[in-house]
Structure 1
Amino acid sequence: MKTKIIYLLMACILLVSCQNLNRPSGKMTRVERVVSGQTIEIADRSAAVPVLEPIRLIGIQAPDIRQKPWGEEARIELEKLTLGQEVLLEFDVQEKDRFNRLLAYVWFGGKLINEYMVKEGFALAEPDFPNTKYMERLINAQERARLMGLGIWNPDQPMRQTPAQFRRQIGNRE
């Protein structure tokens, strides 16, 4: 009987310690503005005058804001989820992108917002090497959205070009 209790206690300790490993950590901050379906802004209060700092969600590619109707829908959904909310920014290997935006996974209410945007068909999962901590989750979320026909995967009105293809096409016209 004593042996069973010891094994049970060891199993409980192991479960609790494993759960703590999966808990995200990072920086708590308030979302001040939503720029697009993949970019939010926070106030950098370290300066004398607070400045809005862009945060690019890692591992997703939302439709370009000019891609009708998906770009605006993605921005609106991200705004509903995060605007004015205290969110947790979790960082990965690379700190900033080529546009000098901070790169982060955004958590709110225990939900990985990057994953939610893909799972509901508001964005594509996009490998963002070397930032791959949640890539498997994002790919699985995309497969779910595709199979369910959600958002950009809606068979009645699918998104026909990736955001990168769309931007290249627009760039060629201008």
Structure 2
Amino acid sequence: MQKIVILFCLLLLVACQPQKKAEESTRIQIKVAQVVSGQTLEVVGIGDQPSLISQVRLLSIDAPDLQQRPWGDAAKERLEALVGEQPVKLEFDVQMKDKFGRTLAYAWKDEVLLNEQLVKEGYALFVGRSPNHKYDLRLERAQQWARLMGQGIWNPEKPMRLTPAEFRRQYR
């Protein structure tokens, strides 16, 4: 009987230990060398060569182009502020690279999903892209919030007239 009680107590102790979420265990920590735009980072430390700089495209968002003023500059500045000086964590979905060779990822800083924060504050649009759908619902809700609150590109006084994709088609 005493062995059963000890075994039960051990199982209870193990069960009560905080467990890392599966997503957290698949995140890698990297240093951001530079913010290129409101949706693209240059990072150090991905892959086999730890000193190699790679481009990372944030998944499921489309930020205004830098030439799409004032929204492009604002998106870049906000992402720079969110990233700060500390490392960020990258989390991947189904597709790891885009057609330009950039790494595709969700970026986390202090348990905040930066992709979502940019959308929620009206600095970027949610754009779901197959096959990467891990956080689509979160991002869609963030965009609904931004629209309702008139945040950033949704500001009724000075709305963004063209989506970033429309802007690129028209001006490139």
- What is the TM-score when the length of structure 2 is the normalising length? 0.85
2: CA distance, partners of 1:117 / 1:93: 22
Displacement of 1:23 in angstroms is 3.7
SS at match of 1:116: helix
1: CA distance, partners of 2:43 / 2:54: 5
Query: Which residue in the other structure is 1:39 paired with?
Result: 40
1: CA distance, partners of 2:32 / 2:23: 24
Moved over 4 A (4+): 13-17
Displacement of 1:128 in angstroms is 1.4
Tell me the percent identity: 47
SS at match of 1:158: coil
Query: Which residue in the other structure is 2:123 paired with?
Result: 122
2: CA distance, partners of 1:101 / 1:68: 25
2: CA distance, partners of 1:143 / 1:163: 18
Displacement of 1:79 in angstroms is 0.5
2: CA distance, partners of 1:85 / 1:66: 28
Query: Which residue in the other structure is 1:93 paired with?
Result: 94
Q: Please give the per-residue CA displacement for 1:80-135, whole angstroms capped at 9, x wherever unaligned.
A: 11143211100000010011000000000000000000000000000011010000
Question: Given residue 89 of structure 2, which amino acid in structure 1 is its aligned partner?
Answer: L
2: CA distance, partners of 1:25 / 1:109: 16
Contact 1:97 1:103 in 2 (8 A): yes
Question: Given residue 74 of structure 2, which amino acid in structure 1 is its aligned partner?
Answer: E
Question: Given residue 140 of structure 2, which amino acid in structure 1 is its aligned partner?
Answer: I
Matched, 1:163 2:147: no
SS at match of 1:31: strand
For structure 2, the 5+ residue unaligned runs are: 1-7
Question: Given residue 38 of structure 1, which amino acid in structure 2 is its aligned partner?
Answer: Q
Q: Please give the per-residue CA displacement for 1:35-90, whole angstroms capped at 9, x wherever unaligned.
A: 00000011247448x33210000000000110010000000000111143211100
Question: Given residue 169 of structure 1, which amino acid in structure 2 is its aligned partner?
Answer: Q
Displacement of 1:21 in angstroms is 4.0
Question: Given residue 55 of structure 2, which amino acid in structure 1 is its aligned partner?
Answer: P
For structure 1, the 5+ residue unaligned runs are: 1-5
1: CA distance, partners of 2:25 / 2:125: 22
Contact 1:24 1:90 in 2 (8 A): no
Matched, 1:69 2:96: no
Contact 1:29 1:87 in 2 (8 A): yes
CA distance 1:80–1:153, change in 2 (3 Å): same
